Amino acid sequence: MPPSGSAVQAAPHAAGAAAALEIDTSASVAHDHKQHAGSFPVAFWTANVIELCERAAYYAWFILVTVYLTSTVGYSDIQAGYITGCFAALLYLLPFLSGAFADRVGYRKALILALALLTVGYTGLGLFAIKHIVLIPMALVMVGGSLVKPIISGTVARSSSPEQRARAFSLFYMMVNIGSFFGKGVAEPIRKTVGLGMIPLLSAAVTFVGLLCVVLLYRPTEIRDPDSEQSVSLSHAARKLFADLTQVFRSGRLLAVVLITAGFWIIQSQMYSSMPKYVFRVVGEHASPERYANVNPITVMLAVVPITWLCKKLSPLTSIAIALGMIPLSALTIALLPGLVGSSLPIHPVTLAMVLGIAIQGLSECFLSPRYLEYASHQAPKGKEALYLGYSNLNMFFSWMIGSIMSGYLLDAFCPDPKKLSVADRAIHELALRGQGSLPAAYAHAHYLWFAFFGIGVVAFLALMLFALLTRDGKPAQSSRNS
């Protein structure tokens, strides 16, 4: 979510991209490619700039979303967990419907609406950080973000020939990572100089720049046939959504791997749900969760190509198993390393644990993401690959819904909001964060939070081992391919 800014958060784009691949065969698109042989049209580059703006705005705010909901708005940890979980989970589900809306009204109009919703939504988050009222601008950001995802990936597919497509999507994912890195990078100095409440307003300014790019420069090739599937009503699209879900879930193997790999993303999502609050409460406000989180996209950008090349002879299921074996180690590192190294190092032991733990997450993601989509495509009946690839990303829906809600309860139990402490304990806590004494008893078992997610990772790994044993080589049954 990528989650991180890499494959994690790029994952929902795969659904829109997969759908776009099925419609990228019209004469107008072929003509457009001939006009731009060996290069990409202006719409491609404009779409990528818009993607960079949208991702930068999103991650600048989302890296501290749970902190924002508790410290600025006033929700409890548990309430913030539910709100964040529903927000992120629906953000991964809505593109299946918003993509149909974009196809119906046209990409340009839909993208103008999306960026306008994002700009208004982020502005509302900055100006109206009031309980319950804040849910309205959050809903606007959620709907706007869900519209951007299929439109940008669809534009990338439509504005590149089959021969160009691999390069086109590699550039697209690079923009995702750059946006993620930039957004989280600028969030820290803004938070420390002018306050957390200013970050949504910065996000609003960035999405407004994206909106100007759409209005002034974005002229995509529109494909709108009144008799085609793209022009059906949204009610028909909703019915088709549930019909497609039913078809995909009939593939027991794909459904099993979707649910198993959700365990991976539950741990990964804690980079946003648990980590910022955890470090602020046990290290202090001077900590830099934004920098810690940026270790993930840096690791992925540096390692994904060589790891994919080195593991090309492994089966997809074996590569997924390596990822699921590594991801619990990231939570275990965060839980145990501070106690093992003590305070003898020049950096805070929790900082070291976070950097190493998140780096392990990034490395494990390199083993999982490319091969998971490959595995999902193998489970699809012939001609249904795009459908299955799109819905394979439902593991993100489950992971956010479960992981964020769990995070709220675990933080409340083991690493509570300092506002809940007694006056005496609050004074002890403030002194401890300044390096004067130990944390109060309420934080004695704060690291237990990470043991819980370590346990989820172990269960996911064992479940995959059992799945591999029951399905032997993990290849799709012949009947599945011919159904």
Considering the entire predicted model, what is its pTM?
A: 0.85
Name the least confident of 146-155, 276-285, 286-295, 316-325: 146-155
Query: What structural domains does the chain harbor?
Result: 7-415+447-482 (1.20.1250.20)
End-to-end C-alpha distance for the chain, whole angstroms: 33
Burial class (CB in 10 A: 0-12, 13-18, 19+), 244: middle
Name the least confident of 34-38, 145-149, 406-410: 34-38
Find, among 274, 293, 271, the residue nearest to 282 by Cα: 274
Q: What is the pLDDT of residue 157?
A: 78
CB contact set of 192 (below 8 Å; sequence gap of 6+): none
Cβ–Cβ under 8 Å, residues 372 and 261: yes
Instruction: Tell the residue number behind the tokens 């080195």, with chain if given.
Output: 310
Cβ–Cβ contacts within 10 Å for residue 158, how many?
25
Integer Rg of the chain from CA = 22
Average pLDDT over all residues of the chain:
84
Sign of the torsion formed by the C-alpha atoms of 83, 89, 94 and 95: positive
Give pLDDT tens digits for 136-185. Answer: 999 999 999 998 888 888 888 778 777 777 678 777 877 888 898 999 99
The two tokens of residue 327 are 């991801």
